[in-house]
Copies of this chain bind each other. A is one copy, B any other.
Amino acid sequence: MESTTDRLRDAGERVTRQRLIVSDALTAMGRQVTAQELYERLRRSEPRIGRATVFRTLEALVTAGVARRLEQDGHVYGYVACRPEHHHHLACDRCGRVEEIGESYIRPVAERVASDLGFTIDDARLDFYGRCARCTAESASAD
């Protein structure tokens, strides 16, 4: 796998100490985080790093293909190292649990919509509301 340094160079971005630190930290998270979240965590080991630097660096990492920017609820961007999965959900109205649905469920629909309507699809959001398996079983007897 091509290194962060290589990918930054290929994108015409400078390779700096801070960018490598941010990239490493993002990779270490293993989940999507907000820029603010990453900034606060980084300050513990790198107290001199600037907030704007983290925001700008994440943008540079996205440009370089090292990170990906996601829309999160509440007008906040989420960042993930490498290729993220889109987030589709099953939300249980009874116990509040939320399960994730894999991308594979939505791809056929996206393709059909694209070909039927000529739409170019960049992103998709799929949410189901109902009862999870456990609550379905429980409510069958006690509702």
Contacts and interface: CB of A to CB of B under 8 A. Distances in A.
A52 interface: no
Interface residues of A, number: 36
Interface in A109-138: 109-110, 112-113, 117-133, 135-136
Interface stretch (A19-27, A41-49, A56-64, A71-79): A71-79
Copies in the complex: 2
Contact of A90 (B76, B108, B117, B133): B117
A135 B120 CA distance: 9
A93 interface: yes
Nearest to A89: B125
Given A109-B109, A121-B129, A124-B126, 16 more contacts: A75-B77, A93-B122, A99-B119, A101-B113, A105-B109, A105-B112, A108-B109, A117-B133, A118-B136, A119-B130, A119-B131, A120-B136, A122-B131, A123-B128, A123-B130, A126-B126
